[in-house]
Homo-oligomer: A and B are copies of this chain.
């Protein structure tokens, strides 16, 4: 059992790295197994298809990211400060990826949304659930900020969706220009989108 679990983790890790580098469609099972250093027969022992592997990679990444988002967005800090920390950690993570691999890899969920959501309903549904969960978490923080009179939105859920959309759009640009520092705009844009009272921070700068 120890060895087979290890093989599953190796396949997941290799698939994650390869999907980040080249996307899902371009990959074959043989290449994934070669990169993972496991025999090709192992693949179908753990995953019934390449799509099942994609879902496992997505779940694995979301387990890590949800834990990070929960730590940040449910901390004891003031609501807007929690959002700021989320953006700062996102920028730091993309920058670390750039330093390790030479390229900004972007957001796995955004990448797979644009590549796969129109091709497989199982992946589309899973990615919808993840973005719904992200929007829920941001919505909760915005609702707290609204109760404290720190923001002026009329619809907290729509505002949360816009904040996450802005995050995805800016991460797309960070990937395109291979420049994670563009993510510095996220915090000021978030304040602007939320109608936050923060006169010392220029909007959209």
Contact = CB atoms under 8 A, between A and B. Distances in A.
Interface stretch (A2-10, A31-39, A76-84, A189-197): A189-197
Interface in A144-193: 152-155, 158-159, 161-170, 172-173, 175-178, 182, 185, 189, 192-193
A105 B153 CA distance: 30
Interface in A56-107: 103, 105-106
Contacts of A131: 173, 176
Interface string A116-139: 111100001001100100000000
A115 B165 contact: no
Given A155-B205, A170-B165, A203-B153, A115 B118 contact: no
A41 interface: no
B153 A205 contact: yes
Contacts of A162: 166, 170, 185, 189, 204
A113 interface: yes
Nearest to A194: B204
Contacts of A189: 162, 166, 193
Contact of A173 (B22, B159, B165, B175): B165
Which of A115, A116, A163: most chain B CB closer than 10 A?
A115
B154 A203 contact: yes
Contact of A168 (B25, B127, B161, B172): B172
B185 A161 contact: yes
A193 B22 CA distance: 33
A110 interface: yes
A164 B154 CA distance: 23
Contacts of A170: 162, 165, 169
